[in-house]
Amino acid sequence: MITKKRVVLFLLFIFPLIAFLLLSTGINGFNKLPVVNKNVIDISSIDSTETLQDKVSIICFLGNDLNKIKGGLFNLNEKVYKKFIDHKKFQIIAIAPKGKEKEVQILKEEIGAFTDMDKWKFLTGSEAKINAFYASFKNNTQLLNLSSNDAFIIDKKGSLRGRTDDLKNPNRKFIGYDMRSVSDLKGPMKDDVSVLYYEYYAAFKDRKKADRKEK
């Protein structure tokens, strides 16, 4: 039964995704967001209460000087987080070194003055665990003082996703998305998270069709 609530949800969430995919990739199909690396270790290696499994995660590394990364986090909050806060299984995980708990709490409160923090998660871990987690991305870069200006997309299976090539920028890959660049966040990153959610939506529709055929 089609209810008013379902119609509203479709217009707000599903229809924009479909429209975006049709316009950007053509009616006959869409390009899935490439898998960069399937072997990212789980975030539970840093915090045993958290996981990347069955969630769409944005990962950021805050480092030892949180003031340097603060502006990028505000950009990420405005241009990406607020666009997907109502999507199921979405989270942003910000990782800082142990000993930075007070600074993390202050930063969390500052961002929280502008948004609902329900799907923001701030974790702290040892230098060794943070470096090991980042190294598992295998994106040929290193953290600088345990920090990165890039945010990363991890899918529900714990795989790193990104653009291995970009048609508009042939000489640039989007494996990490520069949080200092509003255009990177509201363009490629927001679009790529939308593509990822559409993948799951399309797979769900395919499963429903297969189930109907079996009955």
Average pLDDT of the residues of the chain? 85
Asked whether the predicted pLDDT for residue 193 surpasses 80, the reply is yes
Ramachandran angles phi, psi of 87, nearest 5°: -80, 145
Ramachandran angles phi, psi of 75, nearest 5°: -60, -45
Q: In the chain, what percentage of residues exceed pLDDT 70?
A: 77
pTM over cut 0.85: no
Residue 132 corresponds to which amino acid?
Answer: A
Higher pLDDT, 95 or 88: 95
- Split at pLDDT 50, 70, 90, the class of 190 is very high
Q: What digits encode the pLDDT tens for the residues 143-154?
A: 999 999 999 999
Tokens of residue 58, six digits: 């944005």
> Which residues lie below 8 Å from residue 192, measured CB to CB, with a gap of 6+?
33, 153, 161, 162, 163, 174, 177
31-214 is a CATH 2.60.98.20 domain:
no
Tokens of residue 205, six digits: 């529709």
Asked whether the predicted pLDDT for residue 38 surpasses 80, the reply is yes
What local confidence, expressed as pLDDT, does residue 119 receive? 96
Q: Residues 106-126: what's their mean pLDDT?
A: 96
Domain boundaries, the chain: 1-27, 31-214
* Angle, helix 101-112 to helix 66-76, in steps of 10 degrees: 30
Separation between Cα atoms, residue 180 and residue 182, nearest integer Å: 6
Q: Residues 97-106: what's their mean pLDDT?
A: 97
